[in-house]
Structure 1
Amino acid sequence: MTRKRRMIQGALFVVFVVVPLVEIYVLVQVGQVIGAGWTIALLLLDAVLGTWLIRHEGGRAWRALQDALAGGRMPAAEIADGALILIGGTLMLAPGFITDAFGILLILPFTRPVFRRLLAAAVGRRLLLGVVDVRRPGPGPAEGPVVRGEVIDDEPPSRD
């Protein structure tokens, strides 16, 4: 099994097994401290706050994207902000305090730049992995048959 595949499996295990178990544990602990009714009320308040925040910040990000496009500049930060707000909103959909807290951090305008830099670094690493190293020789005779031939050019040389 490759290292990349193990990392993906580990991340999926954390996302689908560890995070829900931790969320349940935190919900039970909060429920024991403040009561079930107050815990549900807090989750509802959190959902209302998250919905308002997503609408507000999503609208700001959309306007910033439109302004960047109208100004003729590359909207890299605006696209990253939109992606972070989308991810944060998705986390807000999951019931629980930990995912909601992390989602709010992704959505808030004063914490989003930190995550924008992390996102840019991750995307940059991902793009660099796809770049071919020009110093390394490409495929040669050892990788396939060599067909010898002659190039015939019927066009006269241009006088540019």
Structure 2
Amino acid sequence: MRFLFLLFILLPILEMVVLIKVGSIIGAWNAVALVILSVFIGIEVIRRQGFKTTLRARQKMAAGELPAMEMLENLAIALGGLLMLIPGFITDFLGIFLLIPPVRRFLVRRWLTATGMKVQQTNIYEAEFHREPTWQNDQTHIHHTIDGDYTREQDKEDPENRNC
């Protein structure tokens, strides 16, 4: 509860103090322009980095791996983008940190170790079956011919209407 109090009461007060201080140094309209510019920069960075991280997650899924780190990075990108959209210099500063890839990866790993969670990079097929399928390693079936007979369902229903 204290965290929410600090977040919703103290953060806006601190943002206003910093905005007033920066506005007194560089001018009020310049400070407002910087805040608006940070919103547009944040949106562009989120779009680009979110796309790259989502692409890496799709590649891992196509390779049969669980994209756990990529999903956590996408969450960090979304949080960084949300912080960039909130007007103010403190939230912009925190959002920029989350949008820098090496810093973001470090913070995600640090958060995982602090919470005691483990992200296991494993193959989806191995995780599903708990063992490696034997048919993938068996190369003896490659050069064998399989002999068999077949009939069409049409041929069974109407023997007079054969196209053979």
TM-score by length of 2: 0.68
Work out which of the two has the higher radius of gyration on C-alpha atoms and give 1 or 2.
Answer: 2
Point out 4+ residue stretches in structure 1 off by more than 3 angstroms.
Answer: none
Q: Structure 2 matches for 1:128-139, cutoff 5 A?
A: none
Residue aligned with 1:73, SS? coil
Structure 1 position 61 matched with structure 2 position 53: yes
8 A Cα contact 1:89 1:103, kept in partner: yes
The Cα of 1:20 is off from its aligned counterpart by 0.8
Percent of residue pairs bearing the same amino acid type: 38
Structure 1 position 15 matched with structure 2 position 7: yes
The Cα of 1:110 is off from its aligned counterpart by 2.2
Structure 2 residue identity aligned to 1:108: I
Structure 2 residue identity aligned to 1:85: I
Equivalent residue in structure 1 for 2:113, among 101, 115, 121: 121
Q: Deviations over 1:5-48 (max 9, x none)?
A: xxxx1100111011111101000000111111111111122111
Equivalent residue in structure 1 for 2:96, among 91, 96, 104: 104
Q: Structure 2 matches for 1:21-32, cutoff 5 A?
A: 21-32=13-24
Question: How many pairs align?
Answer: 117
Where does the alignment leave 5 or more consecutive residues of structure 2 unmatched?
A: 118-164
Hey, what does 1:87 align to over in structure 2?
79
Hey, what does 2:35 align to over in structure 1?
43
CA distance in 2, matches of 1:79, 1:89: 15
The Cα of 1:107 is off from its aligned counterpart by 1.4
CA distance in 2, matches of 1:10, 1:37: 34
Residue aligned with 1:110, SS? helix
Where does the alignment leave 5 or more consecutive residues of structure 1 unmatched?
A: 1-8, 126-160
8 A Cα contact 1:57 1:108, kept in partner: no
Structure 1 residue identity aligned to 2:49: E
The Cα of 1:123 is off from its aligned counterpart by 4.2
CA distance in 2, matches of 1:53, 1:42: 16
Hey, what does 1:153 align to over in structure 2?
none
8 A Cα contact 1:80 1:119, kept in partner: no
State the superposition RMSD in angstroms.
Answer: 1.2
CA distance in 1, matches of 2:108, 2:39: 24
